[in-house]
Copies of this chain bind each other. A is one copy, B any other.
């Protein structure tokens, strides 16, 4: 389970990606990946807006990696 503590580097890093609209690539444990910008995060999900302007709720339980581009 992702620990959602805003003092953690990982959570702050994602908050920076959100604030700066940093393009990211999100890799899932399914081996799928999706590119876009992260709109918000909470305890369960990231909300990603992909390059087709679709909003996708990504469950953090399925995250493998996040790479800034």
Binding site for B on A (CB under 8 A): 1-3, 5, 8-11, 13-14, 27-32, 34, 40, 42-45, 47, 54-68
Contacts and interface: CB of A to CB of B under 8 A. Distances in A.
Contact of A40 (B9, B44, B66): B9
A64 B9 contact: no
B54 A59 contact: no
Contact of A65 (B1, B27, B57): B57
A42 to B, nearest CB: 5
B64 A10 contact: no
A10 B44 contact: yes
18 contacts: A2-B61, A9-B40, A9-B42, A9-B47, A10-B43, A13-B47, A13-B57, A27-B30, A28-B65, A29-B29, A29-B30, A29-B64, A54-B68, A56-B66, A56-B67, A57-B65, A57-B67, A59-B60
